């Protein structure tokens, strides 16, 4: 099982950019799902593999009718579109008004996302961009099915205070109460800080100490560079060597660290060879 849910407490810390960057360097096949009930952004900022625009009607909107009849994980691929560059995306809703069509279906989606890694036909991890989760957003119903919930935050004092409080609320909701570093519950709640690379090490240590001291059940799992130029390259708005950008280099380190710690638990067993197969 490997559903990784990304979210933010408030404001626009760059959840979608972080989700796309992590998916772009993910070491296994991955499906990027825009699951923000307020609506997705990729249809406006990214081109499809054929060079034209993404179809806003194929994705979360089209999957609603399918999911009401039951959803087998492999059916997710029927609603996926490839971006220019090859990343496979489940395009988000056009706006909050369309979220009503998914009422009651979020747990079904969560189970399908989590089970896709075990598909015998087309296994993949799922990175879900859940947007802002302040209030009672239905995207929270995905979290119990996730292996990892990543809260994306910038490093202004008010942003750090909010992510601390949000992590504590999530820990209570998902794990039944606050936890210290020695008793982290599942799904693991991680914090990814969007910050200047020059202060990344210092600020991540300080924030991690604060999260542990407050018994939030969360910890800092990495930092992603605050790199507007790299974000523009990732969205196709600017030319350049995307693989050399600070955004992608730091996203690659986050994914490498995550896989070093949790990859064994997320590995999909290789199916045995068919009888009579050659050596």
Which pLDDT does position 178 carry in this prediction? 55
Which pLDDT does position 184 carry in this prediction? 52
* pLDDT tens readout for residues 45-98: 888 889 889 999 999 999 988 898 889 999 999 999 999 888 999 999 988 888
Which pTM value belongs to this model? Answer: 0.90
* pLDDT tens readout for residues 247-271: 999 999 999 999 888 877 776 544 4
Mean pLDDT of 10-29: 91
What burial class does residue 135 get, using C-beta atoms within 10 Å of its C-beta: 0-12 exposed, 13-18 middle, 19+ buried?
A: exposed
Cβ 89 vs Cβ 24: under 8 Å: no
The tokens for 140 are 């929270």
Which pLDDT does position 147 carry in this prediction? 93
Superfamily covering domain 3-177+190-266: P-loop containing nucleotide triphosphate hydrolases (3.40.50.300)
| N-terminal to C-terminal alpha carbon distance within the chain | 30
Distances (CA, A) of 222 to 21, 114, 157, 215, 257: 13, 23, 18, 19, 8
The domain spans of the chain are: 3-177+190-266
Write the DSSP assignment of 181-233 as a string of letters: GGG--SSEEEEEEEE-GGGHHHHHHHHHHHHHHTTBSEEEEEEEE--HHHHHH
The tokens for 167 are 């992590």
Which pLDDT does position 243 carry in this prediction? 87
Helix (H, G, I), strand (E, B) or coil at 240: coil
Which pLDDT does position 209 carry in this prediction? 96
Helix (H, G, I), strand (E, B) or coil at 111: helix
> What's the chain's average pLDDT?
88
- How far is 97 from 65, CA to CA, in rounded Å? 16
* pLDDT tens readout for residues 140-190: 999 999 999 999 999 999 999 999 999 999 999 888 865 444 345 678 999
According to DSSP, residue 91 is labeled B
């Amino acid at each position: 099982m490997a559903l990784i849910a990304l979210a933010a407490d408030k404001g626009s810390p760059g959840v979608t950019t972080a989700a796309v960057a992590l998916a772009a360097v993910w070491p296994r096949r991955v499906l990027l799902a825009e699951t923000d009930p307020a609506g997705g952004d990729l249809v406006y900022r990214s081109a499809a593999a054929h060079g034209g625009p993404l179809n806003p009607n194929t994705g979360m909107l089209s999957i609603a009718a399918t999911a009401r009849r039951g959803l087998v994980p492999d059916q997710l691929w029927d609603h996926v579109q490839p971006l220019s560059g090859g990343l496979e995306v489940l395009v988000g809703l056009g706006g909050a008004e369309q979220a009503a069509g998914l009422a009651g279906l979020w747990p079904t989606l969560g189970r399908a996302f989590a089970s896709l890694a075990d598909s015998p036909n087309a296994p993949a991890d799922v990175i879900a961009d859940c947007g802002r989760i302040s209030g009672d957003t239905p995207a929270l119903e995905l979290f119990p099915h996730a292996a990892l919930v990543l809260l994306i935050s910038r490093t202004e004092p008010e942003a750090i205070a909010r992510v601390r409080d949000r992590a504590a609320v999530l820990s209570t909701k998902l794990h039944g109460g606050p936890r210290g570093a020695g008793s982290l519950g599942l799904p693991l709640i991680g914090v990814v800080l969007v910050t200047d690379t020059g202060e990344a090490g210092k600020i991540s240590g300080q924030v991690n100490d604060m999260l542990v001291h407050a018994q939030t059940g969360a910890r800092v799992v990495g930092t992603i560079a605050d790199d507007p130029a790299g974000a523009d390259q990732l969205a196709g708005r600017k030319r350049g060597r995307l693989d050399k950008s600070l955004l992608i280099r730091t996203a690659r380190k986050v994914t490498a660290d995550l896989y070093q710690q949790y990859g064994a638990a997320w590995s999909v067993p290789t199916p045995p060879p068919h009888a009579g197969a050659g050596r």
